């Protein structure tokens, strides 16, 4: 009888082992998925840092192209994510959007503003940050590069501006490079384009005179004078008529009845 009861006990032991095995397998799987998801969220990607919009990039390229043609220096920008790997978020120069100036054979002299944006995860206790660095070709000294870099903040392009709107601040800093480079004496100031000659004003009409130019005012003044003269004339006529009516009435009303002499007694 004891041998007959042993199989049920063995089946229960196998069932418990399967439950424990599946529990361990699910726990490990959930842990791996959680770790991968946490690594992706904390690692940060380039899409976290917004790039400059198309209009900002196009306008910046146009401004840098004019400055480069005048000063003989290539100017560019590079925006990257602190956690990102591979391609930068945005890069451009006077040569066009997406064209860098560093190690470019078309740019023997170049200046570039590089910006790295640090956006930590929500669970991190560290704050957002921005790292700005102005680099250039070997003919620019370290002192000149640092003075240009410090000039950005003086012009209002602060670290807070890079954190709040990285795309706008980066392109704005690139536009300021020609001005700051000339300010520190590293390059010649950019030439200011001469304003277009204004078209000469047309000559006055040779037949125009006082009557033709101001005929409206003169016509109105003449009309007012005529109306005034008419009113004065009407007033004088009415005044004379009133006087003519009053005088006869006074004469007839001065002695309405003939005087009588008193009778003698």
Rounded Cα gap, residues 142 and 252, in angstroms:
121
- What's the pTM value of the predicted model, to 2 decimals? 0.57
Rounded Cα gap, residues 61 and 171, in angstroms:
9
For residue 209, the model assigns a pLDDT of 52
DSSP state of 67: H
| Grouped pLDDT means (10 residues each) for the chain, 265 residues | 49 54 56 48 56 96 96 96 87 96 94 95 86 96 96 94 96 96 91 56 54 62 74 75 67 54 50
For residue 176, the model assigns a pLDDT of 96
148: nearest Cα among 190, 112, 188: 112
Cβ partners under 8 Å of residue 94, min gap 6? 61, 64, 65, 67, 68, 74, 75, 76, 101
For residue 38, the model assigns a pLDDT of 46
> To 5 degrees, how large is the angle CA 3–CA 7–CA 8?
120
Q: Is there a contact between 232 and 224 (Cβ–Cβ < 8 Å)?
A: no
For residue 39, the model assigns a pLDDT of 47
For residue 173, the model assigns a pLDDT of 97
How big is the chain, counted in residues? 265
Task: State the angle between helix axes of 142-154 and 166-183 in degrees (0 to 180), rounded to the nearest 10.
Answer: 120
For residue 46, the model assigns a pLDDT of 40
């Amino acid at each position: 009888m004891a041998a007959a009861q042993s199989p049920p006990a063995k089946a229960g032991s196998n069932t418990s082992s399967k439950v424990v095995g599946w529990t361990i397998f699910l726990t490990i799987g959930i842990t791996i998925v959680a770790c991968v998801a946490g690594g992706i969220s904390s690692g940060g990607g380039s899409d976290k840092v917004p790039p400059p919009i198309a209009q900002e990039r196009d306008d910046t390229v146009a401004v840098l192209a004019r400055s480069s043609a005048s000063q003989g220096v290539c100017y560019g920008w590079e925006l990257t994510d602190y956690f990102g790997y591979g391609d930068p978020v945005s890069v451009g120069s006077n040569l066009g959007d997406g064209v860098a100036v560093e190690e470019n054979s078309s740019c023997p002299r170049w200046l570039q503003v590089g910006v790295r944006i640090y956006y930590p995860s929500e669970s991190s206790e560290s704050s957002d940050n921005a790292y700005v660095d102005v680099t250039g070709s070997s003919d620019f000294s370290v002192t000149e590069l640092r003075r240009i870099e410090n000039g950005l903040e003086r012009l209002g392009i602060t670290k807070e501006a890079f954190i709040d709107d990285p795309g706008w601040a980066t392109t704005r800093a690139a536009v300021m490079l020609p001005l700051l480079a000339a300010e520190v004496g590293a390059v010649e100031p950019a030439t200011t384009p001469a304003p277009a000659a204004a078209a000469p004003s047309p000559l006055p009409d040779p037949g125009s005179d006082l009557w033709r130019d101001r005929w409206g005012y003169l016509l109105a003044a003449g009309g007012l004078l005529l109306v005034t003269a008419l009113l004065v004339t009407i007033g004088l006529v009415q005044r004379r008529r009133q006087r003519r009516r009053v005088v006869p009435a006074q004469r007839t009303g001065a002695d309405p009845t003939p005087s009588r002499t008193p009778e003698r007694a």
